[in-house]
């Protein structure tokens, strides 16, 4: 048994003064949390332990990126200040047409390095060249739910069969860190037959789905014209809600959609940064929370964000609802933090096994240096984290008990090689 004791840390505790306790420790045994609480109450069993001194930092569950296309890190800032359809049709799709497995692998590695530095421990991916993404997730050590993208207005072009193969080859890889589902891209890029087949295959394989839903008003209204119902209602009618179906964006959702999503128990991945950059609008998150929908947070791809920083999404998730609704109570700091942790865990189908620091959960955690001026004075730690803090405060990131990022260093990655290879791939994509 391998045991690591993270000593001298702080832990969030809603019942404690300022919402935090100090003098705590977290014991990790074989990649799981065995203890998280006051250090003087910890009674380890016999056996050797490694000790990691947190130097007073705050231990938090790792943040979870519930909707992204990690390899798009290669397209960071390559196309901005354009409306979504122009951005997608004229810029992104031509670039994606030039992608190959090598470029996707190094783009994903680059995104993984970025997420680890930002305190993100898990992500939910929808893209193609999925074997290369799985190899990168396995090598990089992150937890990932991978959904092979399926598009097809006239048949699926063999993509569903390939998704089934990816599931067979990779589901459960990386010591169980990698899970695989199907990613029908969206209502406007898939025929109803393709959507229905995705749902059927997912049911057969016992896996989940991941799809873009009502990202823009235009897409939402065009679906109503085409099918006489909203995208959410169409997906439900085609059987996609018979399995866990992670819904990305939901900017244009109507009240009936929200009620339907709540009843179906599906998770909405809110991507406020991407929705703002592409001028799509602001998702009705407050109404979703009121209806009982679980909301998680996603960065979307770095081509429309332009980073993979879940801290920014937490901040936006809280302040946008206040601003749009002119209601300062609309979404609290605690709710925004819960979206990035527990909400993300549910989005990835890992409900109860990540997203919290308690005995039995996987040791996906981060250390945050709160000994910095923007955390002083200590009044309310969750508010500090969401409104004052940021990715710059993350000093250590651990996944499954393994340290993957430690004060600028990557024990498992050759970061200089990642940078050089990603630059090489980008040069090939953008070059003549
Ligand atoms: Zn997306």
Residues 6+ apart with CB under 8 A from 59: 6, 9, 10, 11, 24, 26, 36, 357, 365, 366, 367, 368
E strands along 39-185, which residues?
50-53, 58-61, 63-68, 120-127, 143-150, 178-184
Q: Which residue numbers in the chain have pLDDT < 50? A: none
Are 20 and 133 within one domain? Answer: no
> If you search the block for the tokens 């620091």, which residue do you land on?
357
Q: How many Å lie between the centroid of ligand 1 and the Cα of residue 274?
A: 9
Indicate if 301 and 396 belong to the same structural domain.
no
Q: Are strands 245-249 and 58-61 parallel, antiparallel or unpaired?
A: unpaired
57 and 105 share a domain? no
The answer on 147 and 57 residing in a single domain is no
What is the Å distance from ligand 1's center to 67 Cα? 6
Give yes or no: residues 186 and 102 share one domain.
Answer: yes
Contact of 247 with 268, CB cutoff 8 Å: yes
With b for 16 or more beta-carbon neighbours within 10 A and e for fewer, the 341-354 pattern comes to: bbbbbbbbbbeebb
What was the pLDDT predicted at 86? 87
Within-domain flag for 237: yes
Could you tell me the distance, in angstroms and rounded to a whole number, from the CA of residue 344 to the centre of ligand 1? Answer: 16
- Is residue 31 within 8 Å of residue 53, measured between CB atoms? no
C-alpha 253 to ligand 1 mean position (Å): 16
Domain identity same for 95 and 46: no
pLDDT tens digits along 347-396: 999 988 999 999 999 999 999 999 999 999 999 999 999 999 999 999 99
Q: From ligand 1's centre to the CA of 236, what distance in Å? A: 20
For 114-166, the pLDDT digits (tens) are 999 999 999 999 999 999 999 999 999 999 999 999 999 999 999 999 999 99
Report how many domains make up the chain.
Answer: 2
Going from the Cα of 370 to the center of ligand 1, the distance in angstroms, rounded, reads: 32
Question: Would you state the structure tokens that stand for residue 26, as one six-digit string?
Answer: 């977290």
Locate 368 and state its tokens.
């945050």
Domain that holds residue 294: 63-347
Surrounding residues of ion ligand 1, Cβ less than 5 A: 300
Q: Kindly give the distance from the C-alpha atom of residue 301 to the centroid of ligand 1, in angstroms, as a whole number.
A: 6
* 44 shares its domain with 73: no
* d(CA 362, ligand 1 centre) in Å: 27
Scored b (16 or more CB within 10 A) or e, 87-112 reads bbeebbeebbeebeeebbbbbbbbbb
Residue 84 has what pLDDT?
A: 80
Six token digits for residue 36: 């998280």
Distance 249 CA to ligand 1 centre (A): 8
Q: 69 C-alpha to center of ligand 1: Å? A: 6
Q: Is 198 part of any domain?
A: yes
Ligand 1 center from residue 28 Cα (angstroms):
34
pLDDT value of residue 283: 98
Cα 36 to ligand 1 centre (Å): 35
Strand 178-184: give its sheet, edge to edge: 63-68, 120-127, 143-150, 178-184, 209-213, 245-249, 267-270, 294-297
Establish if 421 belongs to a structural domain. Answer: no
* pTM for the full predicted model: 0.98
Distance from chain centroid for Cα 31: 21
The domain that holds 401 is classified in CATH as: 2.30.40.10
| Cβ pair 370, 361 in contact under 8 A | no
């Amino acid at each position: 048994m391998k045991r690591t004791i993270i000593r001298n840390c702080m832990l969030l505790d809603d019942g404690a003064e300022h919402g935090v306790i100090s003098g705590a420790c977290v014991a990790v045994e074989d990649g799981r949390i065995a203890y998280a609480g006051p250090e003087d109450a910890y009674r380890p069993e016999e056996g050797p332990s490694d000790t990691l001194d947190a130097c007073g930092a705050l231990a938090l569950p790792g943040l979870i990126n519930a909707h992204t296309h990690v390899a798009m890190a290669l397209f960071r800032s390559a196309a901005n200040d354009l409306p979504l359809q122009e951005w997608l049709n004229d810029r992104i799709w031509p670039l994606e047409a030039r992608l190959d497995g090598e470029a996707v692998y190094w783009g994903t590695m680059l995104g993984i390095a970025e997420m680890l530095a930002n305190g993100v421990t898990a992500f939910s991916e929808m893209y193609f060249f999925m074997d290369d993404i799985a190899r990168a997730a396995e090598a990089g050590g992150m937890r990932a739910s991978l959904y092979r993208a399926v598009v097809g207005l006239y048949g699926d072009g063999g993509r569903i069969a390939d998704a089934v193969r990816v599931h067979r080859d990779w589901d459960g890889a990386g010591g169980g860190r990698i899970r695989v589902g199907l990613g029908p891209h969206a209502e406007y890029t898939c025929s109803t037959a393709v959507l229905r087949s995705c749902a059927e295959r997912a049911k057969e394989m016992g896996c989940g789905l991941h799809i873009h839903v009502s990202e823009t008003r235009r897409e939402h209204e065009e679906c109503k014209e085409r099918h006489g119902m909203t995208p959410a209602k169409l997906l439900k009618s085609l059987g996609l809600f018979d399995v866990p179906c992670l819904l990305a964006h939901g900017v244009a959702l109507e009240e009936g959609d929200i009620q339907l999503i709540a009843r179906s128990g599906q998770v909405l991945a809110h991507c406020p940064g991407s929705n703002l950059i592409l001028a799509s609008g602001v998702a009705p998150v407050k109404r979703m929370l009121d209806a009982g929908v679980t909301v998680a947070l996603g960065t979307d791809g770095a081509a429309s964000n332009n980073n993979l920083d879940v801290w920014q999404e937490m901040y936006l998730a809280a302040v946008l609802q206040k601003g749009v609704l002119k209601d300062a109570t609309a979404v609290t700091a605690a709710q925004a933090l819960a979206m990035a942790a527990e909400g993300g865990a549910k989005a990835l189908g890992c409900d109860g096994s990540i997203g919290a620091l308690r005995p039995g959960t996987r040791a996906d955690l981060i250390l945050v240096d709160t000994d910095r001026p923007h955390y002083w004075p200590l009044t309310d730690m969750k508010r500090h984290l969401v409104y004052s803090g940021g990715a710059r405060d993350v000093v250590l990131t651990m996944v499954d008990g393994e340290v993957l990022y430690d004060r600028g260093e990557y024990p498992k990655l050759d970061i200089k090689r990642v940078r050089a290879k990603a630059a090489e791939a980008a040069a090939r994509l953008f070059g003549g």
